[in-house]
Amino acid sequence: MRTFFTTILLLFFAIANAANDTIPIATRIKDGWEKYGDFIPFEKPSVKVLKSKYSQTSVSVGVTLRNESLAVMPQLGKGEFSGNFNANTFITYKKGATWGNASYTNGKIADVQFNETSDYAMLYPYTLGDSVGGDLRFQNYRFGGGVNTALDSNWKLGVEAQYRADLAYRQIDPRPKNLVTDLDATVGASRRIAGKYHVSLDLNAGKYKQTNSLRFFSELGVPNVVHFTGLGTQYYRFQGSNYNTYYKGYRVGGSLGIVPDGNGWHGNIAYNFFTFTKIISSLNELPMVRAGEHQTSGEIADLNAESNAWGIKLNADYSRKLGTENIFGDAADNVYPLIMSLEQFSAENLNLQLSALYGQSAEVHDWNITANVCYLSHSEKYNSPAQHLTLAHAGGKVGGQYGYKGISLHISISTDLGFYASTRHDLLLYGNSIWQSPIRQTYGILSGHFIQSNTSFRISYSFGNDIAIFLDLRYSYSRFFSGCDIHQGIISVGMMM
């Protein structure tokens, strides 16, 4: 894996040098200036060629630090310290563009409780957990790339592939060793209509696998290890020594959108489906549970990005996850016959946002202010025993950004502050077991009001026409009225070519 990753990075530098863009780096930095945030996204391979007129390659190293005074979700730990290396390239040519990315992260998550499975949010609630937990080491690899090319004056074709490989482990009991591989590919096409608009269709598919093993070496005994099934419940029959498992899944989806060249309306609708099966390896590949999640999203916006800029955007995201438990009879020759399947778990998420922007742009100075209002809701239900959880918040956020674009010096400063009021909360759990304690802790924190703030500062300086160096600082703070504080800081330094 390390050799392959190094090969990918060397390929980045080869592409960058081969491009030999004659446009000065300062001009390319100005073109890539994200002064209007994500008001018009150009990340889909069908339209990514519209993201920038010029080529640019960057490499950086960084550090992330996170601390929670009380873990909002004990299963995700209460802190993080990690270092990372990132490389990104975007190369334009006469008929299109090609791009790539690669990164490596190595770090530690502090005090992970009731969870020994990676990708917790993706695989929830069907994770493996114990009553001890501890710090968790991890290594993450990411790389991918794509190309967009013009078929004629109106049609463009884009393809992209992304791959990640994760490793998580602990060197004291309990000792998980989680290996994750996740591959996703997208193909898309766009057609120019009405002069400046591009209608795009993108289709994607992916394959997922995680091997989730757990070992103990202590001679003093082992803690309880359980297979969670939602809201603190567990698959009691297979608790104990049957904790070598793996997950296999796949995803399919697509999106239909329209984006302009420059100013104008844009819109997008998308659908994705992800399903997985959890299999207990030590019980002759027993398929314990399966789950499927439907995700839909929609967005419509209008942006005028002239010297006096304004924009408005409405977006909505909705997801529904369903979980099914398999019921087995008595084993014969270590084979458990499947008797029936019961749909026991469901979860829903809804996110509605209305955003507005106003700003001014000049040759040297840019500034804008943004505001949004939103409604967020999350609910879970377990059928037998009957249990449920509901959380909902309504709130808003205001923010601002300033940019200075000198001959060699470029500076960007942005900040925002949001307040989110609890509008509904309800929790019903059957009994009072230790396995319910993380659910009760999360509910106790998220059932109240909270505020969030984000601040970023980026400065870059170009040397001649070819190279620039940059420093990127980011800080976020969350304050939950229940008495929990979260601080996170990210520091990155690098160079652009």
Tell me the three-class secondary structure of the chain, residue by residue. Answer: CHHHHHHHHHHHHHHHHHHCCCCCHHHHHHHCCCCCCCCCCCCCCCCHHHHCCCCEEEEEEEEEEEEECCCCCHHHCCEEEEEEEEEEEEEEECCEEEEEEEEEEEEEEEEECCCCCCCHHHHCCCCEEECCCEEEEEEEEEEEEEEEEECCCCEEEEEEEEEEEEEEECCCCCEEEEEEEEEEEEEEEEEEECCCEEEEEEEEEEEEEEEEEEECCCCCCCCCEEEEEECCEECHHHCCCCCCEEEEEEEEEEEEEEEECCCEEEEEEEEEEEEEEEEEHHHCCEEEEEEEEEEEEEEEEEEECCCEEEEEEEEEEEEEEEEEEEEECCCECCECCEEEEEEEEEEEEEEEEEEEEEEEECCCEEEEEEEEEEEEEEEEEECCCCEEEEEEEEEEEEEEEEEEECCCEEEEEEEEEEEEEEEEEEEECCCCCHHHHHHHHHHHHHCCCEEEEEEEEEEEEEECCCEEEEEEEEEEEEEECCCEEEEEEEEEEEEEC
Which amino acid, 208? Y
CB neighbours of residue 91 within 10 Å: 19
Q: Could you tell me if 140 and 89 are in contact, meaning their C-beta atoms sit under 8 angstroms apart?
A: no
Which amino acid, 150? A
Q: How many domains does the chain have?
A: 1
d(CA 63, CA 47): 32
Q: Which region holds residue 363: left if phi is over 0, alpha if psi is between -120 and 50, else beta?
A: alpha
CA-based radius of gyration for the chain: 24
Q: What is the pLDDT at residue 82?
A: 98
d(CA 113, CA 436): 12
d(CA 316, CA 386): 30
d(CA 482, CA 71): 12
Which amino acid, 167? L
Q: Which region holds residue 272: left if phi is over 0, alpha if psi is between -120 and 50, else beta?
A: beta
d(CA 437, CA 432): 8
Q: Could you tell me if 164 and 139 are in contact, meaning their C-beta atoms sit under 8 angstroms apart?
A: no
d(CA 437, CA 270): 36
Structure tokens at 455: 């601040």
d(CA 142, CA 129): 27
d(CA 304, CA 199): 19
Residue 248 Cα to chain centre, angstroms: 19
pLDDT tens for the chain, residues 1 to 497: 555 555 555 555 545 554 545 677 767 666 655 556 567 777 899 998 888 888 889 999 999 999 999 999 999 999 999 999 999 999 988 889 999 999 999 999 999 999 999 999 999 999 999 999 999 999 999 999 999 999 998 999 999 999 999 999 999 999 999 999 999 999 999 999 988 899 999 999 999 999 999 998 877 777 889 999 999 999 988 887 788 999 999 999 999 999 988 788 999 999 999 999 999 998 889 999 999 999 999 999 998 877 788 999 999 999 999 999 999 998 887 788 999 999 999 999 999 999 999 998 888 888 999 999 999 999 999 999 999 999 999 999 999 999 898 888 999 999 999 999 999 999 999 989 999 999 999 999 999 999 999 999 999 999 888 889 999 999 999 999 988 999 999 999 999 88
Q: What is the pLDDT at residue 13?
A: 53
Q: What is the pLDDT at residue 43?
A: 85
Identify the sign of the CA torsion 185, 325, 432, 283: negative
Q: Could you tell me if 159 and 147 are in contact, meaning their C-beta atoms sit under 8 angstroms apart?
A: yes
Q: Model-level pTM?
A: 0.93
Minimal CA–CA distance to 207: which of 168, 167, 162? 162
Which amino acid, 112? V
d(CA 256, CA 318): 17
Q: What is the pLDDT at residue 125?
A: 97
Order of strands across the sheet with 128-130?
A: 128-130, 225-230, 233-234
Q: Which region holds residue 281: left if phi is over 0, alpha if psi is between -120 and 50, else beta?
A: alpha
Boundaries of domain holding 118: 2-496
